[in-house]
């Protein structure tokens, strides 16, 4: 289908590939007497090479850092899928610095003579958020105390959107191991954790709530 083919063209730098409406003609066969042969005309276009990205509106990250996230090589085919993916990677990088409302607008400029493409990448960074409260619910007292002792983001610190994932992977497994083994010995369900980030846009803070739900 067109939806399947279009990313393949974008991946190899054919950013202007265009598909016409399908053409159908009867094509009977032994298996299907009323069969139809579908043809999708395509104008593949030229393969554009990457030139550069021009960044606007950036203060928290440098152009070099953003270029690294974009991961494009000058003179190589402009990988449209990398360009699409870079938006998520850029938002994650800003999230680690407390910028949770980042907007990205990209606009290509094609040089058909040189078969190059450059992109103007306009970033709207938005406000920077800080850590509010770390709240825990439903845990045994000793586990609850250990959670608060190990949680490194303190109230007023620049909020790191990726820290909860790191904490879950590096700290929670150890802290929850005894509880998991105890419940398994008693044929009880494994502990279930719920993470929630509550954003206060007026105060520019984020409360992190960790709850043991069973």
How does pLDDT run across 115-167, given as a tens digit for each residue?
999 999 999 999 999 999 999 999 989 889 999 999 999 999 999 999 998 99
**Cα radius of gyration (the chain):** 26
Question: Residue length, the chain?
Answer: 214
Taking the CA atoms of residue 197, residue 200, residue 201 and residue 206 in that order, the dihedral angle to the nearest 10 degrees is: -50
Cβ–Cβ < 8 Å for 112, 46: yes
Asked whether residue 183 carries a pLDDT value surpassing 90, the answer given is no
List the strands of the sheet with 130-137, edge to edge.
Answer: 130-137, 205-212, 193-200
In tens, the pLDDT along 94-120 reads 999 999 999 999 999 999 999 999 999
pLDDT band at 196 (very low <50, low <70, confident <90, very high): very high
Which tokens hold the place of 131? Answer: 């850590």
Higher confidence at residue 29 or residue 76? 76
């Amino acid at each position: 289908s067109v939806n399947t083919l279009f990313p393949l063209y974008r991946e190899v730098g054919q950013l202007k590939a265009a598909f016409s409406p399908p053409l159908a003609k009867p094509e009977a066969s032994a298996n299907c007497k009323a069969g139809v042969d579908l043809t999708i005309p395509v104008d593949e276009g030229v393969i554009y090479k990457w030139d550069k990205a021009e960044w606007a509106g950036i203060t928290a990250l440098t152009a070099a850092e953003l270029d690294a996230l974009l991961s494009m090589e000058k003179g190589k085919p402009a990988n449209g899928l990398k360009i699409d993916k870079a938006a998520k990677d850029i938002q994650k990088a800003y999230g680690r610095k407390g910028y949770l409302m980042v907007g990205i607008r990209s606009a290509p400029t094609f040089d058909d003579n040189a078969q190059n493409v450059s992109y103007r990448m306009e970033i709207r960074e938005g406000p920077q958020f800080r850590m509010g409260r770390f709240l825990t619910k439903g845990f045994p007292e000793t586990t609850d105390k250990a959670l608060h002792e190990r949680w490194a983001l303190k109230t007023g610190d620049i909020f790191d959107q990726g820290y909860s994932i790191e904490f879950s992977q590096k700290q929670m497994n150890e802290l929850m191991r005894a509880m998991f083994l105890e419940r398994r010995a008693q044929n009880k369900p494994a502990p279930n954790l719920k993470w929630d980030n509550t954003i206060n846009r007026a105060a520019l803070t984020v409360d992190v709530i960790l709850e043991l739900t069973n």
